Structure 1
Amino acid sequence: MSKIEKIVLSYSGGLDTAIILKWLQETYGCAVVTFTADLGQGEELEPARAKAEMSGIKDIRIVDLREEFVRDFVFPMLRANALYEGQYLLGSSIARPLIAKHLVGIAREVGADAVAHGATGKGNDQLRFELAVNALDPSIKVIAPWRQWNIRSRMQLLEYAEKHRIPVPSDKCGEAPFSIDANLLHTSTEGKILENPAEVAPNHVYQRTVDPVNAPDTPEIITIGFERGDPVSVNGKSMTPAALLTELNGLGGRHGIGRLDLVENRFIGMKSRGIYETPGGTILLAAHRGIESITLDRAAAHLKDEIMPRYAELIYNGFWFAPEREMLQALIDHSQAFVSGEVTLRLYKGSASVISRTSPCSLYSADLVTFEESAIAYDHHDAEGFIRLNGLRLRSWAARNSR
Structure 2
Amino acid sequence: MAKEKIVLAYSGGLDTSVILKWLKETYDAEIIAFTADIGQKDELDGLEAKALATGASKVYIDDLRDEFASDFIFPMFQAGAFYEGQYLLGTSIARPLIAKRMVDIARAEGATIIAHGATGKGNDQVRFELGVAALAPDIKVIAPWREEQFREEFPGRAEMIAYAEKHNIPVQASAAKPYSTDRNLLHISFESGMLEDPWFDPSSDENKDMFVLSVAPEDAPDQSEYVELSFEAGNCTAINGESLTPLQVMDKLNDLGGKHGIGRVDMVENRFVGMKSRGVYETPGGTILFSAHRKMESLTMDREVMNLRDSLIAKYSQLVYNGFWFAPERLALQALVLESQKNVTGTVRLKLYKGNIIGAGVQSPVSLYNPEIATMEADPTQAYDQGDATGFIRLNALRLKVGTKYSGK
Which interval holds the TM-score relative to the shorter structure?
A: over 0.9
Aligned to 1:194: 195
Give 1:312's aligned amino acid. S
Aligned to 1:398: 404
Q: Secondary structure at the match of 1:339?
A: coil
How far 1:160 sits from its partner (Å)? 2.1
Q: Superposition pairs for residues 109-124 of structure 1, below 5 Å? A: 109-124=108-123
TM-score by length of structure 1 reads 0.96
Is 1:329 matched up with 2:344? no
Query: 1:39-68: per-residue Cα shift (whole Å, max 9, x none)?
Result: 011112132111012134332111000010
Contact 1:4 1:28 in 2 (8 A): no
Query: 1:57-110: per-residue Cα shift (whole Å, max 9, x none)?
Result: 332111000010010000000001101001100000000000000000000011
In structure 1, how many angstroms separate the alpha carbons of the residues matched to 2:92 and 2:98? 11
Aligned to 2:48: 49
How far 1:19 sits from its partner (Å)? 0.7
Query: 1:245-296: per-residue Cα shift (whole Å, max 9, x none)?
Result: 0100000001000000010010001111111000000000110000100111
Q: Superposition pairs for residues 367-382 of structure 1, below 5 Å? A: 367-377=372-382, 378-382=384-388
Tell me which of 271, 279, 285 is aligned to 1:280: 285
Q: Secondary structure at the match of 2:118?
A: coil
Q: Superposition pairs for residues 39-118 of structure 1, below 5 Å? A: 39-118=38-117
Q: Superposition pairs for residues 10-29 of structure 1, below 5 Å? A: 10-29=9-28
Structure 1: gaps of 5 or more residues: none
Aligned to 2:184: 183
Any runs of at least 4 consecutive aligned residues in structure 1 with deviations exceeding 6 A, and if so which? none
Query: 1:229-251: per-residue Cα shift (whole Å, max 9, x none)?
Result: 00011000011111110100000
In structure 1, how many angstroms separate the alpha carbons of the residues matched to 2:3 and 2:272? 30
Tell me which of 257, 266, 271 is aligned to 1:261: 266
In structure 1, how many angstroms separate the alpha carbons of the residues matched to 2:64 and 2:221? 33
In structure 2, how many angstroms separate the alpha carbons of the residues matched to 1:194 and 1:318? 24
Aligned to 1:362: 367
Aligned to 2:311: 306
Identity among equivalent pairs (%): 54
Aligned to 1:128: 127
Contact 1:34 1:57 in 2 (8 A): yes
Give 2:24's aligned amino acid. Q
Give 2:170's aligned amino acid. P
In structure 2, how many angstroms separate the alpha carbons of the residues matched to 1:12 and 1:139? 25
Contact 2:82 2:313 in 1 (8 A): yes
Is 1:163 matched up with 2:169? no
Query: 1:110-139: per-residue Cα shift (whole Å, max 9, x none)?
Result: 100001111001100000000100000010
Contact 2:52 2:58 in 1 (8 A): no
Contact 1:84 1:309 in 2 (8 A): yes
How far 1:176 sits from its partner (Å)? 4.1
TM-score by length of structure 2 reads 0.95
Give 2:289's aligned amino acid. L
Contact 1:4 1:113 in 2 (8 A): no
Contact 1:35 1:103 in 2 (8 A): yes
In structure 2, how many angstroms separate the alpha carbons of the residues matched to 1:170 and 1:234? 37
How far 1:170 sits from its partner (Å)? 4.8
Tell me which of 375, 381, 394 is aligned to 1:388: 394
Q: Secondary structure at the match of 1:19?
A: helix
How far 1:162 sits from its partner (Å)? 3.0
User: Does the C-alpha gap of structure 1 residues 56 and 197 become closer, same or farther in structure 2, counting only changes over 3 Å?
Assistant: closer
Query: 1:359-379: per-residue Cα shift (whole Å, max 9, x none)?
Result: 111111111100111221121
In structure 1, how many angstroms separate the alpha carbons of the residues matched to 2:182 and 2:170? 19
How far 1:156 sits from its partner (Å)? 1.8
How far 1:175 sits from its partner (Å)? 2.8
In structure 1, how many angstroms separate the alpha carbons of the residues matched to 2:3 and 2:366? 57
How far 1:152 sits from its partner (Å)? 1.8
- In the comparison of the two structures, how many residue pairs are matched? 399
Q: Secondary structure at the match of 1:44?
A: helix
In structure 1, how many angstroms separate the alpha carbons of the residues matched to 2:198 and 2:244? 39
In structure 1, how many angstroms separate the alpha carbons of the residues matched to 2:179 and 2:138? 35
Contact 1:13 1:47 in 2 (8 A): no
Aligned to 1:36: 35
Structure 2: gaps of 5 or more residues: none
Contact 1:10 1:35 in 2 (8 A): yes
